[in-house]
A and B are shown apart, each in its own frame.
Chain A
Amino acid sequence: MVHAAGLTGRRPGYVELHAHSAYSFLDGASLPEELAARAAELGYDAFALTDHDGVSGSLEFAHAANHFGVRPITGAEVTVETGHGPAHVTLLCESQRGYANLCRVLTHVHAGTRPPGRESREPLPAATTLETLERHAEGLVCLSGCARHGLAVVDANAAARLARAFAGAFYVELQRPYARGDARRNATLAELAATLRVPTVATGDVHAHHPRRLRLQDALVAIRCRTSLDGCERERRGNHESVLLDPATTAERLPPDAVARTREVADRCAFDLTQELGYRYPDFSDGADPADARLRRLCEQRFAERYRPSNAAARARLDEELALIGRLGLAGFFLLHWEVLELARECALEVRGPGSPRHALPPGRGRGSSVGSVVCYLTGLSHVDPVEAGLSLGRFINDEMAAVPDVDLDFPRDIREKLIVRVTERYGREHAALVASFATYRSRGAIRDVGKALGLPAAELERLARVTDGWDATRVAEELERVPGRHDGPRWAAFRELTREIAGLPRHISQHPGGMVVSSRPLVDLVPVQPAAMAGRQICQWDKDSCGDAGFLKIDLLGLGMLSAVEDCVDRIARERGETIDLSRVPLDDPAVYAEIQAADTVGVFQIESRAQMQSLLRTRPENLDDLTVQVALVRPGPIQGKAVHPYIEHRQRRREDPAFEPPVEHESLREALRDTLGVVVFQDQVLDVAMASAGFSIGEAEGLRRAMSRKRSEEAIEAYRPRFVEGCRANAIDEQTANAIYDKLVGFAGFGFPKSHAAAFALLAYQSAWLRRTYPAEFLCALLNAQPMGFYPPASLVRDAQRRGVEVLPPHVNRSEAACSLEEGAVRIGLGFVQSVGEADAEAVAGGQPYTDLGDLARRAATRSGVLEALVSAGACDEWGPRRQLLWRLGVTARGRPAGDGNRQLALPLEPTAEVPELPEQTEWERMLADYRHTSVSVGVHPLELLRPHLAASVLTTVELAGAPHGARVELAGLAVARQRPATANGVVFMLLEDEHGQANLIVAPPVYERHRGLVRGEPLLLAAGRLERRDRNVNLVVDRLESLGPLARRAASEAEVTRALPKAHHFGHR
């Protein structure tokens, strides 16, 4: 810890009591840590963070400030509605009670921002009332607000009211922003203070920690006002004085008595957010039975159902876990999760409906390290038997753990939607909320927002945004150099500077995918809660890191597309075939399923469908669920960066050839820890195992190391463990060089890997989805299409793959399609909802009115928005009534029903159009195919390459011919780009999947080729790739050295200009 005040040797007179960080969202240009570090550097010994209407950065600031030896003061600048419009007051916390009041005030500030029925729209301005402030004055110090919008400036009578309410804790705030009129305003404010008999206090209204961020602050104001810098002169501050200055300089600018009082206020604001929160989760301690006894009773009941009494291993494991849980006082934690799962069961029953074939499925599944716990298995939190699967518990809970463990639960999306609201209702809106997440500036957002603020040409910005490479906005200037055209002058210079400065700053608050916090003390006393952009949901103002720092129990209720698909699939199998599938009883060793997996025939299969997984599958050839568990965890950034993938594949091949092969390890002490993964680190748990085995770490130390790895901004924390690790290794006779090498391997692995238990849970779902895909291909495709968006492939590729495997897919049909995709005599019928611009409600409305006798009947009766019928005709859903062009003509002159205002529909008179339909040319095959793609994103008919093939040179191979070409051959291949992957771990190499009428092929595009053809790689759907064929084991790749667009050729062949735009865009993964 650095002691800032100690540097100067005396307490400075001035304490900053009014500062904004970037968590004021577009009105603050520095991160809380940057403010804390700079405050320490300038010699502040205490410092208040007062963001607009929130404390999102406060805990982060408090920890950082403590680290730098600056005492953090928690507060916020709150917007309050007055008779003269909105005004600001600065609230600072004296005590825990004051902080609770601040949280309640801030909760009230946001309460009305998303009124019912318009949750997803732009939030209304946030503001509280004077009455609310008066009711929550205890424990708070109130300053009268900033120079421009402060309460004392806007409405002196309102200030007088608060001076009474905050008796003895109300100060009139004096600032010196070097704006014209400062002297007069401060004189008026001093007079007001004298009249009210309250003291004045000086503040700085800081918006940047360093002068280099001041231009950014101007730009942020423009972004907030959605205009350019030129267009927001009134809103900007007009100069660059809102920077953090040293205490002495600030003190010189303001009246000495007001400066001296900053110390008085700082001294009374003794509340420490890092120490005094007082959080407790509902731990069932108030029930008749102790929580321990309840948990044991629950487990014993289920134990009898799941295990034979003679199963000594399971019995010992249960006893051991219950004892550990008892020692850690975590019984309530497990009961809470169990209760959430019971709520999920209720939600599942409602969503699935009575008698649903989905009843045999659990409402959700565990993932993550909790799958290693038998208590989780017995309470339904996990569906994998950890005793049988040999999963360890240490990563989940151990005797030395300092924080509550994580339990992650996956649910089908429909159940999760309901459950989130149900949990909030069960524990009360004051006790439960979703965790927040902050959208931070990356390249594209920075380019668009900063560029617009600077008034740069929109087309140029869009061009740059399209070719920008990564997530990292600090590299935008570099990327700009590669874009053709002149980018000079002060605006572009500022653009280069500001995109770098804005990188990583939070832009707005949004909701975490599924993390919920529940508290026995009202949550609104601990952190402000505000409505989310979805009905019934609310978020707290802290992200997962701050919630973790606060010791909050976070329950992850995650939506998993594949679970939705599996449920839908089981449901359809039951309806279509009358077969009830209990997935928990599906044989886990079906050789036919493994044969497909080993042949990488896995398009649409959970977790093992990506291009990288397929290439790996061909070499690892999984034979059972254990192999699949490794497989699922192997192709992840952790094992890749930890350089585990190739050694694993190589060891596996050698083991296949020689079952006695023993894989090498860095040191003999690691052999047991790495036995299952053939000498390499694949699972997160192995980080713990290796640290314990080689360096003698205790389980708690090892878990601390793993946690350091999984947090953002953690490099320093990870390195802090190195000396202890090397020292521990030395005690085990491992030399320093080897110890460092092992540590580097662990650091390389970092947090981006799965725990084994998580991989086991995912492997099971991967197998189950592969089994469904093989056994019920039509139902599986149908379910996959209905669960979109999900997975690696666009729907068009899923359809082509299923067609190649013999599934018949039918186009949308206005009389036969349901709203979603459905089954029709064994074939998959594309749903009406798949047609672009036909919403769910429209699709339901059209399907509800079936059958329609003709187009006139449809137009008269279908209660849809305008444009929907045109979209249905264009997509081919009305083809049975005639050619699409004629139908569109007729639709234009057909009378339609009108909404009658009360939800009903006034039918049009059944008058036939009198005008004759003129002679219109028939659509060509090209036009129909393109219209299908354009309007449904899939085409069940001809593949574009089939139409293009006659126009290609004979030397251009098909994917079938490519598979038979020799290693090293120079080849040309044409196809539709399906997926593009630029993994962060591949040093700039781009992997692409090209699809033709026969199948798919892998392309490898090295960085120089990518740089040459960047536009084609990133945006062209039809490509001709030339290069050298590379065969490695069973993998076939085309190493590309030249790319060409087939767009011009296709446009000529199709006689249509819009070919490229109509075709589906490749899915992109990894860095851009």
Chain B
Amino acid sequence: MVAHTGSARSARAARRLNARPLNQPRPALVEAHADGTPRRINRRQVAVLREEWRVVDRWWTEEPVARRYFDVVLETGENAVVYHDGAWFTQRA
């Protein structure tokens, strides 16, 4: 499933409904290894890289999606999912 893209159109729709989109991706500060896997997320060290998956979708629309997702455990013991789509975002898993 393609998670919420947070597009301008959906933001407008949300405003109309006076609602807040669920699971909106948030920009993240990520330092990555040379192979593109995250090393630090929002200044916290990645302890374990649990899984990587990829999403390429909606290429036929104005809002194509091409993302590398990473499911990680941070040094704090916290789980996090980040993806890279030109920029880094975090999104609840």
Contacts and interface: CB of A to CB of B under 8 A. Distances in A.
Interface of A: 178-183, 214-215, 218, 229, 233, 236, 238-241, 454-455, 489-491, 494
A236 B56 CA distance: 11
Contacts of B26: none
A182 B54 CA distance: 11
B54 A494 contact: no
Given A181-B53, A233-B2, A238-B55, 14 more contacts: A180-B71, A181-B51, A183-B50, A183-B51, A236-B57, A238-B1, A239-B55, A239-B56, A240-B54, A241-B54, A455-B60, A490-B60, A491-B61, A494-B59
A229 B60 contact: yes
B78 interface: no
Contacts of A490: 59-62, 64
B69 A180 contact: yes
A214 to B, nearest CB: 8
B85 interface: no
B55 to A, nearest CB: 6
B52 interface: yes
A239, A454, A491: which has the most chain B beta carbons within 10 Å? A239
Contact of A233 (B1, B50, B53, B60): B1
Query: Is chain B's interface secondary structure helix, strand, loop, or mixed overall?
Result: strand
Nearest to B60: A494
Contacts of A494: 59-60
B1 A489 contact: no
B70 to A, nearest CB: 11
A179, A238, A454: which has the most chain B beta carbons within 10 Å? A238
B71 to A, nearest CB: 8
Interface in B33-82: 50-57, 59-62, 64, 69, 71
Given A233-B1, A233-B2, A180 B53 contact: yes
A180 B51 contact: yes
Interface residues of B, number: 17
B62 A182 contact: no
Contact of B54 (A233, A239, A455, A489): A239
A178 B59 contact: no
Contacts, number: 48
Contact of A238 (B50, B52, B56, B62): B56
A905 to B, nearest CB: 54
Contacts of B2: 233, 238
Contacts of B59: 215, 218, 490, 494
Interface of B: 1-2, 50-57, 59-62, 64, 69, 71
Nearest to A234: B1
A218 B58 CA distance: 10
A240 B61 contact: no
A229 B50 CA distance: 30
Nearest to A214: B56
A233 B59 CA distance: 12
A215 B56 CA distance: 10
Q: Which 4 A-B pairs have the closest CB atoms?
A: A178-B54, A239-B54, A180-B53, A239-B56
B60, B62, B71: which has the most chain A beta carbons within 10 Å? B60
A180 B51 CA distance: 8
B54 A454 contact: no
Nearest to A495: B60
Nearest to B67: A239
A455 B61 CA distance: 10
Nearest to A236: B57
A696 B53 CA distance: 65
B86 to A, nearest CB: 16
Nearest to A237: B56
B51 A240 contact: no
A233 B52 contact: no
Contacts of B60: 215, 229, 454-455, 490-491, 494
A182 B51 contact: yes
10 contacts: A180-B51, A180-B69, A215-B59, A233-B2, A238-B2, A238-B56, A239-B53, A239-B55, A454-B60, A494-B59
A305 to B, nearest CB: 70
Contact of B57 (A178, A181, A233): A233
A179 B52 CA distance: 8
B9 to A, nearest CB: 15
Contacts of A241: 54
Nearest to B68: A178
Contacts of B55: 238-239
A680 B15 CA distance: 79
A178 B52 contact: yes
Contacts of B62: 489-490
A256 B44 CA distance: 32
A121 B23 CA distance: 45
Contacts of A215: 59-60
A54 B62 CA distance: 38
A187 to B, nearest CB: 11
A216 to B, nearest CB: 11
Contacts of A489: 62
A238 B2 CA distance: 8
A183 B52 CA distance: 9
Nearest to A218: B59
Contacts of A455: 60
B29 to A, nearest CB: 24
B25 to A, nearest CB: 16
A329 to B, nearest CB: 58
A236 B2 CA distance: 12
Contacts of B61: 490-491
A182 B51 CA distance: 8
Contacts of B51: 180-183
A236 B1 CA distance: 10
A200 to B, nearest CB: 19
A185 to B, nearest CB: 11
A237 B89 CA distance: 23
Contacts of B57: 233, 236, 238-239
Contacts of A491: 60-61
Nearest to B69: A180
Contacts of A218: 59
B21 to A, nearest CB: 19
A238 to B, nearest CB: 6
B39 to A, nearest CB: 20
A179 B1 contact: no
Nearest to B71: A180
A182 B1 CA distance: 15
A184 to B, nearest CB: 8
Contacts of B54: 178, 239-241
A236 B65 CA distance: 14
Nearest to B1: A233
Nearest to B81: A180
Contacts of B52: 178
Contacts of A229: 60
B52, B53, B69: which has the most chain A beta carbons within 10 Å? B53
Nearest to B53: A180
Contacts of B69: 180
A182 B71 CA distance: 12
A837 B45 CA distance: 75
Contact of B53 (A179, A214, A240, A454): A179
A178 B64 contact: no
A941 B52 CA distance: 76
Nearest to A489: B62
B55, B57, B69: which has the most chain A beta carbons within 10 Å? B57
A778 to B, nearest CB: 59
Given A233-B1, A233-B2, A490-B59, A182 B64 contact: no
Contacts of A178: 52-54
B1 to A, nearest CB: 7
Contacts of A181: 51, 53
A148 to B, nearest CB: 14
Nearest to B61: A490
A533 to B, nearest CB: 33
Contacts of A240: 54, 56
A489 B59 CA distance: 11
